[in-house]
Amino acid sequence: MRVLLVEDDPELGPVVAMGLRNEAYAVDHVRSRAEAEELLCAGEYDVACLDLGLPDGDGMELIGRLGEDDHLRRPRRILVLTARDAIDDRVAGLDAGADDYLVKPFSFQELAARLRALARRADHRSAVLNVGDLRLDPASHRVWRGGAELRLTAREFSMLRYFMHRPGLAVSAEDLLEHVWDAHADPFTASVRVILSRLRRKLGRPDPIATVTGVGYRLEEAP
C-alpha cells in the first residue's frame, strides 16, 4: 500500500515514515502543501496521512481541493494527523472529506491500526487475506502457505499483499512499482523482478504467481 505522509515536524515526520516503511508500506514523505500537491498531480496513493498546520497553507484547504481540482488525484483514503483536538475541528475535517482523524500526540501502534482499518474499508475485505492455500495477516505481518509459516522481508510481504488484494487479475511491473515502492525507487523494473524472484522461491511449488506474457503477473486463485 502506498502512503503519502504530509508532516512538517522535523522530528515526528521521519520517525513516522520509518515506522510505516518497517510495516511494509511504500511511503513518500513531504513537508509542505506544495510538495504534496506536486506528488498528487503525478501519482496515485492508497492513503494520505495529512497534517493540517503546514508551513505554506492549511491542510484542510488541500482536502477540499482534492474533490474539486481535476489535476489532483485524490487518495483512496485520507487520515488527518493534527494537534487540533476540538470537536469542531474534528467535525470540519471529516466533513471536508477526511476518512479518519487522529489527534497528536498519538501512539504509532494506533496509527498503524487505523491504516489497517482504512485499507479494509477501501478493499471491502476481511482483516486476514485468503487466496488459495495462502493466508496473510496484515496485523501480525505473518504469512502461511498451507500449514507452513513463511518468513518474508518487508518488501516481499508488501508485494504479496498487493497481489492478494487482486487475485486472478493481471498486475504489471509498473503497478508494483507504483504501490509497493515509494517515489525514490529505481524507475527500472529490475528491482521488481529481483523481489518477485525471491518471493516465488519462498512461496515454493507449485508457483502461485503466473507470468502473463506482455502484461505482467497474476496471482492464481487456485494454484
Report CA dihedral (128, 40, 74, 1) to the nearest 10 degrees: 0
**Domains, in order of start, for the chain:** 2-123 (3.40.50.2300), 129-219 (1.10.10.10)
Residue 134 has pLDDT above 90, yes or no: yes
**What average pLDDT does this structure show over 65-76?**
85
Residue 196 has pLDDT above 60, yes or no: yes
- Asked if 26 and 57 count as a contact pair (C-beta separation under 8 A), the reply is no
Residue 88 has pLDDT above 70, yes or no: yes
pLDDT-wise least confident of 1-15, 31-45, 112-126: 112-126
Residue 27: what pLDDT? 93
State the angle between helix axes of 154-164 and 190-203 in degrees (0 to 180), rounded to the nearest 10.
Answer: 80
Query: How would residue 68 be classed by pLDDT, with cut points 50, 70 and 90?
Result: confident
Residue 122: what pLDDT? 55
3-state DSSP of the chain: CEEEEECCCCCHHHHHHHHHHHCCCEEEEECCHHHHHHHHHHCCCCEEEEECEECCEEHHHHHHHHCCCCCCCCCCEEEEEECCCCHHHHHHHHHHCCCEEEECCCCHHHHHHHHHHHHHHHHCCCCCEEECCEEEECCCCEEEECCEEECCCHHHHHHHHHHHCCCCCEECHHHHHHHHCCCCCCCCCHHHHHHHHHHHHHHCCCCCEEEECCCEEEECCCC
- Determine the Cα–Cα distance for residues 182 and 28; give it in Å rounded to an integer: 6
Strands 129-131 and 53-54: unpaired
- Determine the Cα–Cα distance for residues 180 and 108; give it in Å rounded to an integer: 21
Tell which residue, 1, 158, 18, has the closest CA to residue 77.
1
Q: Is the pTM of this model over 0.85?
A: no
Residue 127 has pLDDT above 90, yes or no: no
Query: How would residue 190 be classed by pLDDT, with cut points 50, 70 and 90?
Result: low
List, for residues 156-189, the tens digit of each pLDDT value: 998 999 999 889 999 998 888 878 877 666 555 5
Question: Average pLDDT over the chain, rounded to whole?
Answer: 88
Cell output for 20: 510505516
- Asked if 24 and 51 count as a contact pair (C-beta separation under 8 A), the reply is no
- Comparing 122 with 39, the larger pLDDT belongs to 39
Residue 201 has pLDDT above 70, yes or no: yes
**What average pLDDT does this structure show over 82-111?**
91
Residue 139 has pLDDT above 80, yes or no: no
Tell which residue, 74, 43, 76, 37, has the closest CA to residue 58.
37
Residue 125 has pLDDT above 60, yes or no: no
